[in-house]
Amino acid sequence: VQQWTEIGSLGESLKESSVLIRGRVHSIRAVSKKMVFVVVREKGFTVQCVLTVKPEVVSLQMVKFVTNLNKESFVDVEGVVSVPASPLKATTQQVEIQVSKVYCVNKALPTLPINIEDAARSESEIEAALQAGEQFVRVNQDTRLNNRVLDLRTPANQGIFRIQYQVEKIFRHFLEDEGFVGIHTPKLMGGSSEGGSAVFRLQYKGGVPACLAQSPQLHKQMSICGDFARVFEVGPVFRAEDSFTHRHLCEFTGLDVEMEIKQHYSEVMDIVDRLFVAMFDHLKQNCQKLLEAVGKQYPFEPLVYLPKTLRLTFQEGVQMLKEAGVEVDPLGDLNTEAERRLGQLVFEKYKTQFYILHRYPLAVRPFYTMPCPDDNAYSNSFDVFIRGEEIISGAQRVHVPEFLEERAKACGIDVKTISTYIDSFRYGAPPHGGFGVGLERVVMLYCNLNNIRKTSLFPRDPQRIAP
């Protein structure tokens, strides 16, 4: 049995070795009846395979067969690795394979809804192709998403979703090392977890009204009441968002944390700080190839962050905006534009694109948020931003049941629907807090991508529930 070599691992060290690879036909360029170049792709990596008629080895027929292969078909290629005289522009690997055998494992349709080479072009490559009068198709977002299985094959998308998994991995590993335990909370709920309208309603058995969880909020807190002390969850979050924006999905992946607090809600922000610095360091140190694959199609500047994450209070943020001529309600929420502007101001002043804004006005936070003990117009809560856009919300929670009930009522929530949640606190609950991260947003903003649909494998938005 012969060893398979991954295309991504082909390099000069394998010069003159015989290799066997399996991949897709990415492109075909016939030079003559006797010679054809086939670029073969695997997991976003590409290598040029050269087929030349050679008596006893490669026949005219074989060159013809390969010339006529459909793109995206799966092939096994056997040959010897060689190093070309000049660098190869069209492939990721800088070696070629001098082919002795090609076997088509399974073919793709002759015409596909998306040409992967077209889908993989950057804006500047599109410009250059237009200037050169090249024949190609500009693949728009809807076409990509309608044909996501093909779109996912581009090197940039291979990079995005492999980076996304690294973010999830560091989240799990870091928290595990800090004594957190992974949990799984129900997604079918009797009442809404965040309040408000953005909830998907459904009928449970026996016609009982139910909804899909807008977050694991209630059950992650109830797990703290169940003595797990420090918990995290990676799971789906459902929001019936009305508006069509670049950063809202109807289903996304939530990275959630909940923990006992000994003295101060800064303990929760400490976890955010160390977790994300560890994550960004890991991406920088171990994911260069993936980041380059994304950057080649969607160029971006690396994220600038500090070894110790900057914390500003909401009031300081409002003041910075005011000094820059942006008036905002000091007891209201920041709109998207103000958040972006503050992101720029923070970058100019503190040289970081990642920071925590805390002590938000109580009025703009969910009912379960703990007011500041020294001024209850504000709350022990925070949001976290990358490049001026929110990736995290977090807070200390109200752990006194009577007060929790009062806050829920004041926020217009029907307390009957969350009575088991409120009761959990009647049996004795420790001070605690936590936060929720949108996984797709982290990757979108880390790579400075312009749309959250680019970081959702099969996105669900107000206008899309397929494929």
Residues lying near ligand AMO in the complex (CB under 6 A) are found at 194, 215, 217, 239, 241, 248-249, 252, 254, 256, 390-395, 434-438, 440-441, 452
392 contact, one of ligand AMO, ligand ATP, none, CB 5-8 Å limit per kind? ligand AMO
Q: Mark whether 243 is an active-site residue.
A: no
φ, ψ of residue 117 in degrees (nearest 5): -60, -40
Measuring CA to CA, which residue among 12, 73, 62 is closest to residue 35? 62
Strand order in the sheet with 209-212: 188-189, 209-212, 201-203
Q: Which one of residues 78, 168, 260, 333 is an interface residue with ligand ATP (CB under 6 A)?
A: 333
451 contacts ligand ATP (rule: CB under 6 A): no
Q: Which is nearer to ligand ATP, 248 or 274 (CB)?
A: 248
Q: Which is nearer to ligand AMO, 233 or 405 (CB)?
A: 233
**Stretches 62-70, 76-84, 156-164, 332-340: which one binds ligand ATP (CB under 6 A)?**
332-340
Q: Mark whether 24 is an active-site residue.
A: no
The span from the CA of 240 to the CA of 407, in Å, is 24
Q: Which one of residues 9, 286, 336, 450 is an interface residue with ligand ATP (CB under 6 A)?
A: 336
Strands 371-372 and 375-379: antiparallel
Among 248, 274, 282, 340, which one carries the catalytic annotation? 248
The span from the CA of 425 to the CA of 434, in Å, is 16
Provide the mask over 208-247, with x wherever binding to ligand ATP is found by CB under 6 A and - wherever it is not: -----------------------------------x-x--
Among 144, 239, 453, 460, which one carries the catalytic annotation? 239
Q: Which secondary structure element, helix H or strand E, spans residue 394, and what is its range?
A: strand 389-396
Rounded to a whole number of angstroms, the minimum distance from the CB of residue 258 to ligand ATP is 16
249 contact, one of ligand AMO, ligand ATP, none, CB 5-8 Å limit per kind? ligand AMO
Rounded to a whole number of angstroms, the minimum distance from the CB of residue 74 to ligand ATP is 41
Rounded to a whole number of angstroms, the minimum distance from the CB of residue 238 to ligand AMO is 9
The span from the CA of 242 to the CA of 367, in Å, is 22
The span from the CA of 71 to the CA of 152, in Å, is 16
Q: Which is nearer to ligand ATP, 393 or 424 (CB)?
A: 393
Q: Mark whether 246 is an active-site residue.
A: no
The span from the CA of 180 to the CA of 258, in Å, is 9
Provide the mask over 374-413, with x wherever binding to ligand ATP is found by CB under 6 A and - wherever it is not: ----------------x--x--------------------
Among 441, 453, 456, 460, which one carries the catalytic annotation? 441
Both tokens of 190, joined, read 């009797």
φ, ψ of residue 439 in degrees (nearest 5): -60, -45
Residue 388 region by backbone torsions, left for phi larger than 0, else alpha for psi between -120 and 50, else beta: left
Tokens 């395979």 appear where?
A: 49
Question: How does DSSP assign 120-172, residue by residue?
Answer: T--HHHHHHHHHTT----PPPHHHHHHTHHHHTTSHHHHHHHHHHHHHHHHHH
Q: Which is nearer to ligand AMO, 27 or 166 (CB)?
A: 166
Rounded to a whole number of angstroms, the minimum distance from the CB of residue 106 to ligand AMO is 36
Q: How many CA atoms lie within 13 A of 349 on its CB side?
A: 15
Measuring CA to CA, which residue among 333, 391, 337, 389 is closest to residue 364? 333
Q: Mark whether 241 is an active-site residue.
A: yes
Q: Mark whether 390 is an active-site residue.
A: yes
Task: Tell me which residues touch ligand ATP (CB under 6 A).
Answer: 243, 245, 248, 333, 335-336, 390, 393
What residues are labeled active site? 239, 241, 247-248, 390, 393, 441
